[in-house]
Amino acid sequence: DIQMTQSPSSLSASVGDRVIITCQASQDIGDYLNWYQQKPGKAPKLLINDASNLETGVPSRFSGSGYGTYFTLTISSLQAEDTATYYCQQYGNRPTFGQGTKVEIK
């Protein structure tokens, strides 16, 4: 199975900060990469599909980029409501998730 490695595992940043989460695949997955946000006790929410396509209704401060084995999720200006755990997921072959990045407000 394809391994997905996220970094960092957790971070603490101030409101208004730019936050970048990285996700590395163990082999080339093209753009078959999604990003999800999960808040405690809730189901995951799809933020970005196919590496860079923002889901309808998701704030424009979220963006995704990358292709092949290296991907990033960027929050351009962190807001209090962005406190959550973020997961990358490849779906090209037997879907797998990264281990998650917990984002907290400093």
Partner 1 sequence: EVQLMESGGGLVQPGRSLRLSCATSGFTFGDYAVSWFRQAPGKGLEWVGFIRTKPYGGTTEYAASVKGRFIISRDDNRSIASLHMSSLKSEDTAVYYCARGRIRITLAGAVVADASDIWGQGTVVTVSS
Residues that bind partner 1 (CB under 8 A): 1, 30, 32, 34, 36, 38, 42-46, 49-50, 55, 87, 89, 91-100
**Residue 76 token pair:** 């351009």
Q: Between 17 and 38, whose beta carbon lies closer to partner 1?
A: 38
Q: Between 53 and 77, whose beta carbon lies closer to partner 1?
A: 53
- DSSP string over 21-69: EEEEESS--TT-EEEEEE-TTS--EEEEETTTEEPTTS-TTEEEEEETT
Q: Between 65 and 99, whose beta carbon lies closer to partner 1?
A: 99
Cβ 50 to partner 1, closest distance in Å? 7
